[in-house]
Structure 1
Amino acid sequence: MLDLNHNLRFLLASSQLFPFNRGYHHTDADHDLLKQAAMAFAMVAAGDLTQAIGVYGKLIEEQPKLAFFYACRSLLNMETGDQEGAFYDYQAAKALDSNYHTYLEWRMNAGQMLEAEELADLNKQIAADDTNPQLFINRAMLLVQHFNYEEAIADLTQAYARKQNADVLVSRAAIYMRMVRYDAALNDLSLAASLSPNHSTVFMYLGKLGLAVADFTGALTNFNQAIALDAGNPLLYEERAQYFEAVEDWANAIQDYSVLIGLNPEDFFAYALRSDMYQKLGLLKEALLDLDAAIRLNPYYSDLYQYRGEIKKSLHDLVGAAQDFEKYQELENEL
């Protein structure tokens, strides 16, 4: 299990002290950066956006590795019409913790779901039988697709109340992670682990949470545990490979992508991912072979030709590179 009581990435995200966030806030931890986040949040609430942007800018200068402050400033930049600044901060936050991509996407799109026919049908089914947990789960999954995360959480809570199931807790934890409510995600995963100690997906998500907050030791321990419990699951090797990428252990990432390819040889993207790792090690011929395989499996994915063209160029195959760049452009023009 993860111990994140003193992890700033965990504490800041869990505080939910994001500009204009009127929902859940958690500020129990006593840390200077949390106090400054609360101060900036109060400035926004008082309408002093310019001063708050300045505070976030100062905090980013002092703590350039914390995604939270970039996300806060991105939200303010969007509000004040600085789209370029908002995009820059969004990219910075995403690079530091990919969950901030889904968080900011949610903040931009929340509440825009139309009353789709499928949703209306589920509403009728639940009205007729509110004892069936699967109906709440089905509606929650639909709501997630339309960025209605809070309503999805409520539905999964209803499902869990009807049947205490570890899978429901894992699904709810996954949504909490999209909302960067890391404390709530950890609580759900801890409870899921107590209900189902051999549930590999629980440990996979604990690994993902550890990786998100740069608890690399805890992340690897949990990824290893997940694979020990379910060694034939290709997704687990992909997730652990991403951990190895994060710590720049290219050789072990290659090993995990190789296992993934062995388990699922028709997955073209796995070859592309392994190709990138080979490039990191300067093994261009191996990288080229993987992109050849990826293109054989999916000849219509334009980016593959762009990647292969760059490798061919590095290997001084200028004719082959030009052909790949031309094919890339041809496919792009068809979109």
Structure 2
Amino acid sequence: MSTSFGGRLRRIVVAFACAALCAGALVVATPLAAWADDAVDGFSRAQSLFHERKFREAITALDTYITAHPRDARAIVLRGDCKADLGDNDAALKDYNAAIGIDPEYQYAYTTRCETRLQLDDLAGALADCNTALRLDATDPLSYEDRGDVYFQRQSYALALQDYDKAIELGRTGAYVFAARCDTERLVGKRSLAKPDCEKALAIDPKSRRGLWARSRLAMVESRYTDSIADLNAYIALNPESSDTAYYYRGLAYNRIHSYQSALDDLRTYVGRQSKDPDGYKERAIARYGVGDKAGALADLDLALSGYRRDGNTAEADRVAAMVKAIGAGQPPQP
């Protein structure tokens, strides 16, 4: 199972040729100066709307502006960022492609396309874009952060950690990057470093879902199940519809503290959303046995066994077979 973390407000990089426009206004005829003012005003208004998170209004303004200035790559990228923040990644990608076709050296276009390709599960394309962004500007902290995200999704955790370290060294200070580094430090076995990063992330933004997730997983591996449940409660409350994996892990944590009914409720939700994941059935079997539903537990273990065999996961298949044997002997199944 995997968890994707999106929703960061895109940064705006506007290398608009203001100096040229301003200089031109001193020497050109009045109509051209007026055009320059209109260009600045139209683009600036779209920027302001973006910063106010009025993405649809910004798109409307940019549509008008781009009709008049069809080769303004920065305006096209800004429109793509608006679309990305509205969740329309396919439309955003089209804008980024168009902008790069106009200005192949526009560094930020590759950075933001990297983010969007990652959201679309195009890991190879995302990595290529982040690498290009860093070739064009090796000091850009956001590009390191984004490439760290790509490496994280590829499970190349050591490489991800190097990039998160570099992003912070170069000035990234948001909750997201500290939370991402915390999660990565946990995965490479550096728990002593992970805890302060998680705490820093949540001090910056107590509602950071990335921070709540990372701290909950750290608590889980340290068998601090009550702490993990508390963070997962907050994580799920912020966006229940985008919390499938959180329901699984909260159910697992409830099982470990023998709160079987709460575990069963969460694992029913998870299995209902991710019906092909054998992990969900295996964990739900423990909850079902815990509430006295032996037949239901065996049925779930049968589904889990079929899933693991389908996936070629012999180690988990053997573990499930041992759980079935334990129930047959009148003993509780051990995860």
Q: TM-score under structure 1 normalisation?
A: 0.51
**SS in structure 2 of the partner of residue 130 of structure 1:** coil
1:226 equivalent among 193, 201, 208: 201
Distance, in Å, in 2 between the alignment partners of 1:205 and 1:299 is 25
1:282 equivalent among 258, 263, 267: 258
What is aligned with 2:122? 145
| 1:249 correspondence with 2:241 | no
Deviation at 1:306, TM superposition (A): 4.3
Contact 1:159–1:168 (8 Å) recurs in 2: no
Which amino acid in structure 1 is aligned with residue 211 of structure 2?
A: L
- Written as runs of structure 1 = structure 2, the 5 A alignment for 1:67-216 is 126=100, 128-141=102-115, 142=117, 145-147=122-124, 151-158=128-135, 160=137, 166-175=141-150, 178=156, 180-181=158-159, 184-192=162-170, 195-197=171-173, 199-216=174-191
| 1:262 correspondence with 2:237 | yes
Q: Give the structure, 1 or 2, with the largest relative contact order (CA under 8 Å, sep 6 or more).
A: 1
Which amino acid in structure 2 is aligned with residue 180 of structure 1?
A: A
Contact 2:158–2:188 (8 Å) recurs in 1: no
**Which structure 2 segments of 5+ residues have no match?**
1-91, 312-335
**SS in structure 1 of the partner of residue 212 of structure 2:** helix
Distance, in Å, in 2 between the alignment partners of 1:183 and 1:282 is 35
Which amino acid in structure 2 is aligned with residue 271 of structure 1?
A: Y
Which amino acid in structure 2 is aligned with residue 169 of structure 1?
A: Y
Taking only the aligned residue pairs, the percentage that are identical comes to 18
2:292 equivalent among 316, 319, 323: 316
Contact 2:182–2:198 (8 Å) recurs in 1: yes
Which amino acid in structure 2 is aligned with residue 126 of structure 1?
A: I
Deviation at 1:226, TM superposition (A): 0.5
Deviation at 1:261, TM superposition (A): 2.0
Q: CA RMSD in A?
A: 4.0
Distance, in Å, in 2 between the alignment partners of 1:185 and 1:256 is 26
**Which structure 1 segments of 5+ residues have no match?**
1-117
- Which moves more between the two structures, 261-270 or 152-161? 152-161
Deviation at 1:171, TM superposition (A): 0.8
Deviation at 1:185, TM superposition (A): 2.0
Deviation at 1:168, TM superposition (A): 2.3
Distance, in Å, in 2 between the alignment partners of 1:220 and 1:247 is 11
Contact 1:139–1:155 (8 Å) recurs in 2: no
Q: What are the superposed Cα offsets for residues 74-116 of structure 1, whole Å, 9 maximum, x if unpaired?
A: xxxxxxxxxxxxxxxxxxxxxxxxxxxxxxxxxxxxxxxxxxx
Deviation at 1:120, TM superposition (A): 11
| 1:239 correspondence with 2:214 | yes
CA distance 1:123–1:278, shift in 2 (3 Å): closer
Distance, in Å, in 1 between the alignment partners of 2:304 and 2:148 is 39
Deviation at 1:125, TM superposition (A): 5.1
Deviation at 1:148, TM superposition (A): 6.2
